[in-house]
Amino acid sequence: MSERPQYLSAEDRRAATVQAVIDLAAEQNPAEITTTAIADRMGLTQGALFRHFPTKDAILEATMTWVGERLLVRVDKAAAGAASPVAALQAMFMAHIDFVAKHPGVPRMLFGELQRSGETLAKRMVQTLLRQYGQRLHRLMEAGKVQGELDADLDVDAAAVLFIGTIQGLVMQSLLAGKVSGIRRAAPGAFAIYRRGIESRT
């Protein structure tokens, strides 16, 4: 049982629960994470855990909310500090990679949730996250076309899918290799290839 402070505010306790879930997801199949394991990781009883979350699904939903908010804030901040649309795309790409490297349980949870059959609230939340992410990519790519950085005939829909797919591919390979931190080494080369495919040739 982990040693954690027992006297936390409700908000801090919920945040600690989310972190416990993400930590556990990095170590085991996210679908097999139980409320007993979460409570044990936090040094709590299940009863104490359920005072903050009525169900396991509520814990999962809170975790997905945390992931979506943190990831979008991180990529937005990275893009905001870039000098051009292409530089912003690269900054977003690397910020996303860094987020995954720091929270290896996150992609395991996202992949697992998207593979679940049927509609769930958590699955819809992941889909919403991907849609919001894609909207950001579209805006940057359209700006890049206007400014002449990107190919005027670029299929923005396909380019956005490929951007996200490149990250997902790197993540999947790092998970298979059993070392998510290695994703940072592969990312710059992968983005360089992606960039050559979308840049203007004039």
Digit-coded pLDDT (tens) for 129-172:
999 999 999 999 999 999 999 999 999 999 999 999 999 999 99
Q: Which CATH superfamily is domain 1-54 in?
A: Homeodomain-like (1.10.10.60)
The yes-or-no answer to whether 1-54 and 56-198 have a common fold is: no
Domain boundaries, the chain: 1-54, 56-198
CATH topology of domain 56-198: Tetracycline Repressor; domain 2 (1.10.357)
Question: pTM here?
Answer: 0.87
What are the Cα distances from residue 85, in Å, to 18, 82, 96, 106, 142?
34, 7, 16, 27, 9
| pLDDT one-digit tens code per residue, 29-68 | 888 899 999 999 998 888 889 888 999 889 988 998 999 9
Whole-angstrom Cα distance, residue 11 to residue 3?
A: 19
Beta carbons within 10 angstroms of residue 70's beta carbon: 15
